[in-house]
Amino acid sequence: MTSDRIKDTIRAISIKDPGAATAYHALPDGVRKKVLAGLDNKGLRDLTGLIKRSKKQSSSDADKRFLEIASSLVRTPFYLIDETLLEENMRILRYVKDRTGCKILHALKAYAAFATFPVMRKYLDGICASGLNEARLGREEFKKEVHTFGAAYSDHEIGKILKHSDHIIFNSFYQLERYGEKAIKKGIQVGLRVNPGHAEVAVEMYNPCTPGSRLGIVHEIFKSEFPKHMALVDGLHFHAMCEQNSDVLERVLRSFERLYGPYIRGLKWINFGGGHHLTRDDYNLERLIRLINVFMKKYGVQVYLEPGEASVLNAGVLVSSVLDIVWNKIETAIVDTSAETHMPDVLLMPYRPHIMRSYLPKKKKYTYRIAGPSCLSGDVIGDYSFDRPLMRGNRLVFTDMALYSIVKNTTFNGIGLPSIMVIDNKGKLKLVKKFGYSDYRDRQS
Ligand SMILES: Cc1ncc(COP(=O)(O)O)c(C=O)c1O
């Protein structure tokens, strides 16, 4: 029976049957590995292409769902997470694991809506946390491996952090000396975050290797201190990327190996951090797979990746309503969602999020500035044009809003937090969280 399924799947891949990706994903772990072993390089590349195509198809199906739900629900604003799209992302991550034997963690800092953890848990090895609260959420809600990295830990939190972590990563030799033995006594693996000496992140604010960065031990210090402390260390961690493709990883790895290669043998693992935009359509998965395979073979270590964005890329939207339209040299639509409070990266990066059925300003007949209801004059989401004039009450659907949004929200101006809705993979819509006055009040005193 199993051998028939393997043969059928290989045959479906070889004729590029659109159902082949679904058939592959449905196989149990060991059987998927056998399918991979039965494919030549071309077959493997074809499977990668089919997996990407399946995700694209799911995305265009979901667009219709998003628009329908946006126009049918009475109360806005709300985030709408689509589990089918989330699962397509998870499948891509698991495919990388299947092809390489690497482990993949989800970075909770990007997205922590635990109502959808059951879908993610099936595919990933665990989560990475930035400190106590994320470690605890990972332990209690994700229930798999927890790897914690904090720029500096405090005496009053370290005990609890260790309680909830399987790996702890230190940002200095001081922190390693202070807490390393304690971690080892509890059976926790210990790592050091290093600065790999190369990054290509254009925006300073998001570049972990910007000159003078506090994130990661620099090589000058590492080379003199590591030999004194190596008995305590199980692995190294670097994080140097942001929304980037595997060509950047290749260059970061080259620099990392040049600086730290001589220290890797004898370690158990190397964590390549996050910033890998693995689930983006143009992401070169074959190159990533080659880089990981070569690295693991060369050094005999376990490789970890810890993407955040890639897990939920394009898997959710933010639905809002036009409250009013005012005029001052330009028509501005004031909506019931705010860049400042509900999508802060729009102002920080800055970037212009896409709104479904909208175009660049002036491309279509009706152009509007879309802005939030807060007192901040810069609470502007961007300028957009539309086929038809906007009306008060119209719904606007901001795409790709699951990541770095819910986790970063504030209640500045007392603005309410958007509800969180989930469409499960059977198409059923669920309200998983509604916020109210107490969510504002309880954070003030
Ligand atoms: C240490 C570390 N790991 C993982 C991530 C996740 O990165 P991304 O969401 O860009 O994949 C970050 C993001 O800042 C990070 O700082």
Token pair listed for 141 = 């809600």
pLDDT at 335: 98
Alpha carbon of 68 to those of 61, 65, 236, 314, 370: distances in Å?
Answer: 11, 5, 47, 17, 22
Ligand 1 contact via 128 beta carbon (within 6 Å):
yes
Report how far residue 352's alpha carbon sits from residue 355's, in angstroms, rounded to the nearest whole number.
9
Token pair listed for 418 = 């958007």
Per CATH, the number for 84-312 is 3.20.20.10
Domain range annotation of the chain: 2-72, 84-312, 322-399
The residue type found at 22 is T
Ligand 1 contact via 191 beta carbon (within 6 Å):
no
Tell me which residue has tokens 């040049």: 258
Label residue 395 left, alpha or beta by phi (over 0 means left) and psi (-120 to 50 means alpha): beta
Report how far residue 349's alpha carbon sits from residue 407's, in angstroms, rounded to the nearest whole number.
16
List CB contacts of 11: < 8 A, sequence separation 6 or more.
none
pLDDT at 3: 87
Token pair listed for 100 = 């390489």
Q: Which atom of ligand 1 is nearest to the CA of 404?
A: 9
pLDDT at 242: 97
Ligand 1 contact via 340 beta carbon (within 6 Å):
no
What are the mean pLDDT values of the chain's consecutive 10-residue runs (445 residues total)?
Answer: 90 95 96 97 97 94 94 92 98 98 98 98 98 98 98 98 98 98 98 98 93 97 98 98 98 98 96 98 98 98 98 98 98 98 95 98 98 98 98 97 97 98 95 98 97
Report how far residue 375's alpha carbon sits from residue 334's, in angstroms, rounded to the nearest whole number.
12
Ligand 1 contact via 132 beta carbon (within 6 Å):
no
β-bridge partners, 127 = 106, 146
How far does the centroid of ligand 1 lie from the alpha carbon of residue 2, in Å?
39
Q: Does domain 322-399 have CATH number 2.40.37.10?
A: yes
